[in-house]
């Protein structure tokens, strides 16, 4: 018995309505998947929203640190019968800058260490690790084999020492920021420590002398330990826990043993 003709999208097709329905459903599914994989276009704010929000939160918290530190510092000065700081004096004081830079120091140490440790070390099942079952991944690709005619960064096209520097640039920048923050912590911390010493009739200390005190290293270690606790927690928790939509997580339906 001949199959009836059914009109689909303005065309007549052979087959039953059930078969045509399957064709239409498949076509719609293909179109839906194509739309899902189509790259989204956005303006400056959307394309940079993650960095903008992070730096906005940074600014808000620095302002909060400044004003709460200002009140706390003046309360301490009142207790010791010392004149209170104005906002301008506190903004340039060792107390404020020491509190600020000792935290920068620990964050940049954490980032520098994490970037380089993930080159060599593995955590099976973690979204933060390379796959131990893969001998090489995209991040291990040798840039010297790249098509220099394509849209590649300038150091890749240039090659030589520029490329050698660039292929380690993320770690090197974080390392430089850590060392700069460590130096600022030492300089501003020595100023604050000296002011406390003088308030108690003791001599001031130089930056080099301050770096040799237990107080400097106590301030550093109390921040460093918390950074690596947080990173280690993220590495392990991402083996078993999920956050749908976050690149820091594996897909929700991924097996625990799967390394993203």
73 and 111, same domain (yes or no)? no
Residue 20 has which token pair? 């045509």
How does pLDDT run across 204-259, given as a tens digit for each residue?
A: 999 999 999 999 999 999 999 999 999 999 999 999 999 999 999 999 999 999 98
Most confident of 133-142, 195-204, 236-245: 236-245
Indicate the pLDDT class of residue 93, thresholds 50, 70 and 90. Answer: very high
Q: Flag the least confident range among 19-33, 121-135, 201-215.
A: 19-33
Strand partners, 12: 7
Query: Is residue 1 domain-shared with residue 128, that is, in the same domain?
Result: no
Q: How far is CA 16 from CA 3, 11, 20, 26, in A?
A: 6, 14, 6, 16
Residue 20 banded pLDDT, cuts 50, 70, 90: very low
Where is pLDDT greater, at 29 or 151? 151
What would the pLDDT profile of 35-60 be if each residue is shown by its tens digit? 555 656 779 999 999 999 999 999 99
Lowest mean per-residue pLDDT among 28-37, 196-205, 217-226: 28-37
Question: Taking a C-beta distance cutoff of 8 angstroms, is the pair 241, 123 a contact?
Answer: no
Residue 39 lies in a domain: no
Q: Verify that 130 and 55 share a domain, yes or no.
A: no
pLDDT of residue 135: 83
What is the domain extent for residue 198?
93-260
Shared domain for 216 and 232, answered yes or no, is yes
Note whether residue 40 is domain-resident.
Answer: no
- Residue 41 covered by a domain: no
CA geometry: angle 132, 138, 140, nearest 5 deg: 75
Q: Are residues 80 and 29 in the same domain?
A: no
Instruction: Give the pLDDT confidence score for residue 15 in this predicted structure.
Output: 52
User: Which two structure tokens, joined as six digits, stand for 67?
Assistant: 């004003």
Residues 58 and 28 occupy one common structural domain: no
Number of domain units in the chain: 3
CA distances from 145 to 65, 120, 162 (A): 48, 22, 15
Could you report the per-residue pLDDT of 205-220, keeping only the tens digit for each?
A: 999 999 999 999 999 9
DSSP state of 147: -
Indicate whether 130 and 210 sit together in one domain.
yes
pLDDT tier at 75, thresholds 50, 70, 90: very high
Q: Quick one: average pLDDT of 103-126?
A: 96
**Helical packing angle, 214-240 and 94-120, nearest 10°:** 40
Q: How confident is the prediction for the chain on average, in pLDDT?
A: 88
Global pTM reads 0.81
> Residues 119, 83: one domain?
no
- The answer to whether residue 174 is domain-embedded is yes
Q: Indicate whether 254 and 202 sit together in one domain.
A: yes
pLDDT of 74 > 90? The answer is: yes
**Is residue 210 in some structural domain?**
yes
Are 126 and 239 within one domain?
yes
Answer whether residue 42 is part of any domain: no
pLDDT tier at 67 (50, 70, 90 boundaries)?
Answer: very high
Asked whether residue 174 falls in the same domain as residue 246, the answer is: yes
Is 215 within a domain? yes
pLDDT over 60 at 18, yes or no? no
Distance CA 231, CA 150 (A): 36
Shared domain check, 216 and 235: yes
Six-digit token string for 191: 């100023």
């Amino acid at each position: 018995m001949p199959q009836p003709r059914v009109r689909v999208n303005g065309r007549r097709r052979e087959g039953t309505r059930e078969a045509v329905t399957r064709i239409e459903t498949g076509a719609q599914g293909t179109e839906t998947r194509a739309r899902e994989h189509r790259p989204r276009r956005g303006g400056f704010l959307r394309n940079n929203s993650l960095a903008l929000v992070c730096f906005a939160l940074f600014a808000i918290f620095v302002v909060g640190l400044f004003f709460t530190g200002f009140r706390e510092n003046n309360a301490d000065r009142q207790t010791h019968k010392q004149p209170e700081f104005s906002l301008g004096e506190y903004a340039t004081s060792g107390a404020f800058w020491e509190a600020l830079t000792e935290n920068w120091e620990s964050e940049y140490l954490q980032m520098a260490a994490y970037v380089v440790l993930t080159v060599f070390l593995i955590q099976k099942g973690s979204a933060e690790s390379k796959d131990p079952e893969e001998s090489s991944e995209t991040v291990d690709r040798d840039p010297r084999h790249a098509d220099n005619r394509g849209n590649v960064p300038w150091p890749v096209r240039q090659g030589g020492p520029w490329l050698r520097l660039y292929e380690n640039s993320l770690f090197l920048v974080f390392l430089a920021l850590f060392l700069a923050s460590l130096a600022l912590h030492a300089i501003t911390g020595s100023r604050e420590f000296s002011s406390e010493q003088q308030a108690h009739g003791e001599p001031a200390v130089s930056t080099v002398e301050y770096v040799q005190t237990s107080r400097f290293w106590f301030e550093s270690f109390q921040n460093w330990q918390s950074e690596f606790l947080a990173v280690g927690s993220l590495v392990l928790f991402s083996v078993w826990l999920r956050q749908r939509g976050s690149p820091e997580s594996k897909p929700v339906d991924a097996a625990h043993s799967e390394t993203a």
